[in-house]
Chain A
């Protein structure tokens, strides 16, 4: 930011899209270390089990991570000691069909479609999800404040997932 203002400027859809694509690219390349500082301190990363729920605190989730859990998760996935993540599956994901659902000072809410293809052990699997994001601008940089990944089959059976969604 060239000018230090008291109010944070809004985040445009173009900025948000670039940010989300960069995040997706990071995750497919297992570049998890720079992924951590993409988050705000109170950021929340959630993968619910119930499809319609908003009350993540009082329901079971596949993942419901605060900063500490995200760090522990990344450490685990990169440690080389997790059988399900070493060797990791290869993933290719696209995120698209962005819809802006809310905007405020230094904040944008979006929902998007994600299709992720996983390959491991002679086998290719597809995961589809609706993802909602809340992005905020903190000291000029865009950060992830909320990310909720609602898998299309979240309340049905899944498989072991040894990577980040």
Chain B
């Protein structure tokens, strides 16, 4: 089998292990996928005002995401137009100019070339218009910022399609205050990026891999996390996107606000009252504090997962970086609840990050996949689980299966195949 016959490597219910370990395939993915689609680069709240920026990546290319004085958000390649030095090595911050440290070319926050030292050394003159930082097309939906190298791609909202409904629902965890980034964990694992991509809608592993997390919860919460037996489902949303509903009761956080406050949140509710929130707001915050009951996977690199964004960055064929971006309540117009956000942070620390009760076990599982994939030459990754979805739950016309089905992975690999063979 030729390693470039991409169509032959992806069948309806299985994919070839070459997809995890062939370096040539990885290089092609960077071109055909990551340079040809909308890629998540950040959240609006990370650019809290005029002249703010953050570093990010589109595929494996470093970029700076900026907000100018007028509020416009841009994605700029982090590469000086003179001799390619990176112009920004701060994670995030506030400044209106980027000065290249090598020969001093300076750029405005919108990427325009501002000044060139000793410019008369270019006797023929230098067209400053021509040498601004390279801009990528950038669009925002629900505060999530996406960029693309592909100028003529469809608008972001079309690319998201039916996934937008789930993004709208996801942002309800702001409890009316809006959603903002509180912090992030970053970690790497020695394995291919698609192993992580698969994981976001893989409920099948949850009770096995995360047994020690489940054991650390009180009985009531442990029940809620019985994600396989609770009537949830996985749904193909098109364009490689999928949603896995784990806790159907927590799909819409605006519903069931009259339900009694669970015991485990009694203390938080008291703190919220002490902060001055009325009873309606207290109930809203308490209901939103653990996030939504689903994971939304947006092909190729970001997921909205319960109470955080999960971002993947392909580093090499067998090296992937993951960010778990903790989100809480509050935006530029509102005063967030410190107690509510503290609760979010502690919940995030409990599961996520390099020492969470969940993440290291996921990372170990993913590494095991990469190590095991070395065995055998012509073996396949099975993605054929898929019993029927609960009656009437998924959107009619969508391909769906129960919570432990592998529908989401099949959706992602079909998109992979479309893009790799286009």
Contact = CB atoms under 8 A, between A and B. Distances in A.
B375 to A, nearest CB: 15
B349 A63 contact: yes
A69 B187 CA distance: 22
Contact of A160 (B91, B184, B350, B364): B364
Grouping DSSP codes into helix (H, G, I), strand (E, B) and loop, the A interface class, with mixed when no group exceeds half, is loop
A137 interface: no
A62 B349 contact: yes
Given A62-B185, A84-B363, A161 B355 contact: yes
B95 interface: no
A49 B186 CA distance: 9
B182 interface: yes
A27 to B, nearest CB: 13
Nearest to A69: B350
A157 B349 contact: no
Interface stretch (A7-15, A70-78, A102-110, A128-136): A70-78
A79 interface: yes
Given A57-B342, A72-B357, A162 B183 contact: no
Interface residues of B, number: 39
A24 B241 CA distance: 46
A18 to B, nearest CB: 27
B142 interface: no
Contacts of B371: 121
Contacts of B349: 60-64
B359 interface: yes
A76 B183 contact: no
B185 A76 contact: no
B187 A79 contact: no
Q: How large is the interface on A (under 10, 10 to 19, 20 to 34, 35 or more residues)?
A: 20 to 34
Interface centre among B91, B213, B215, B362 (most CB of A within 10 A): B215
A57 to B, nearest CB: 6
Contact of B364 (A49, A50, A79, A162): A162
Contact of B338 (A50, A58, A160): A58
A83 B345 contact: no
Interface string A121-165: 100000000000000000000000000000000011111111001
Interface centre among A57, A59, A60, A75 (most CB of B within 10 A): A60
B353 A83 contact: no
Nearest to B341: A58
A72 B348 CA distance: 15
B384 interface: no
Contacts of A79: 211-212, 215
A82 interface: yes
Contacts of A73: 357
Contact of B187 (A75, A83, A155, A160): A160
A162 to B, nearest CB: 5
A83 B365 contact: yes
B189 interface: yes
Contacts of A63: 349, 355
Contacts of A60: 182-185, 326, 345, 348-349, 353
Contacts of B91: 155
B365 A158 contact: no
A5 to B, nearest CB: 38
A59 B341 CA distance: 9
Interface of A: 47, 49-50, 57-64, 69, 72-73, 75-76, 79, 81-85, 121, 155-162, 165
Top 3 A-B residue pairs of the complex, sorted by shortest distance between their CB atoms: A60-B183, A160-B360, A84-B360
